[in-house]
Amino acid sequence: MTQMKTGFEYSVLLIVTLIWGTTFSVTKSSLALVPPLYFLAWRFSLAALGLLILNIKRLTGITKDEYIGGLVSGISMAVGYIAQTVGMVYSTAAKAGFITGLAVVLVPLLGAALYRRRPHFSVYIFAGVAAGGLALLSLDFSAGLVLNLGDLFLFICAISFAVNILNLAKYAPRCRVLVLTLIQITFTAVSCWLASLLLEQPVPLAGSVWGGLLYLALAGTILTTAGQTWGQQRVSPERAALVFTLEPVFAAFFAFLLLKEMLPPLGLAGSGLIMIGIIGAEIASRKGKSRAIE
């Protein structure tokens, strides 16, 4: 039986995506005042504390799948956020949104490589379109096709987030979502603290930084996680993913509004190609569901 949708579910997912889009500018504005790993460590520690309060009645009886799933997905999340935040030290918030969005294209490709699942053939075409867009967005043609160091970190982030989506697809059906999220975010917080202590010098946090941290922890992590979980209980993953493709657009909009960042003409063309690749690959994945290779 087909369940009638009121549209409210899509509104919630759209708000989640909009909040994600704001996080790039908030993070970028804070990185001028605080080291990136130290900033991440505080962000995820605050988020883990909030999730711990929400999960206080669920802590008994944590299953093996929840522990393993949380740790495995925590590794890919930690690598992704560390690469993204370090990348934004050297790149822009607008570019970060579009390059991170490539995770949508990479999911079916990595699924084929890691889990022997064959995506629809047109996914490869749209992946090529997105790769061309990435080149226009990231390469400095005036300097002999030099890749910006920050953009390289952001691409590593996109790979890690794609792996994280695949990890969650594997473990989430067997786990309580909020418990899995708590373990994942706690592991990410610990990883960021260790990396920061090894590589950075801690600094006092200014009041404006605390404001950004609280926003990212409460709205950018806890609220978005709860909203995404609630929405995806009622909307298919394919339809939800199409809503999530708007994240780069929101990221670019808020980067212009809050940071006055403007992409050059080649960057705008590259961003457009990336959006075509992201949306096209997602639609192609819906039309031709992955098939296991015999």
pLDDT tens for each residue of 265-290: 888 888 888 889 888 877 776 665 54
Burial of 94: CB neighbours in 10 Å, binned 0-12, 13-18, 19+: buried
* pLDDT interval class at 6 (50, 70, 90): low
Per-residue pLDDT at 81: 93
Question: Which residues on neighbouring strands pair with residue 146, listed in sequence order?
Answer: 140
User: Which pLDDT score is estimated for 45?
Assistant: 96
- For residue 32, give the DSSP letter: T
Question: Phi and psi at residue 81, in whole multiples of 5°?
Answer: -70, -35
Token couple for 188: 């990410």
Q: How confident is the model at residue 246 (pLDDT cuts 50, 70, 90)?
A: confident
Report the percent of the chain where pLDDT is more than 90.
33
Strands (E) in the chain, as ranges, are 117-118, 139-140, 146-147, 291-292
* φ, ψ dihedrals at 111, nearest 5°: -60, -40
Would you list the DSSP string of 168-201? HHHHGGGS-HHHHHHHHHHHHHHHHHHHHHHH--
Residues facing residue 140 across a β-bridge: 146
pLDDT of residue 289: 55
pLDDT for 4: 43
pLDDT of 60 over the 70 cut? yes
Q: What are phi and psi of 6, to 5 degrees?
A: -85, -15
More confident residue, 156 or 122: 156
Residue 143 has pLDDT above 60, yes or no: no
User: Would the pLDDT of 15 be above 80?
Assistant: yes
pLDDT, residue 2, reads: 41
pLDDT tens, position by position, 45-57: 999 999 999 888 8
In this predicted model, what pLDDT tens digit does every residue of 66-125 receive, in sequence order?
Answer: 999 889 989 999 999 999 999 999 988 888 888 888 887 888 788 877 777 677 778 788
Question: Counting beta carbons within 10 angstroms of the beta carbon of residue 229, is it exposed (0 to 12), middle (13 to 18) or buried (19 or more)?
Answer: middle
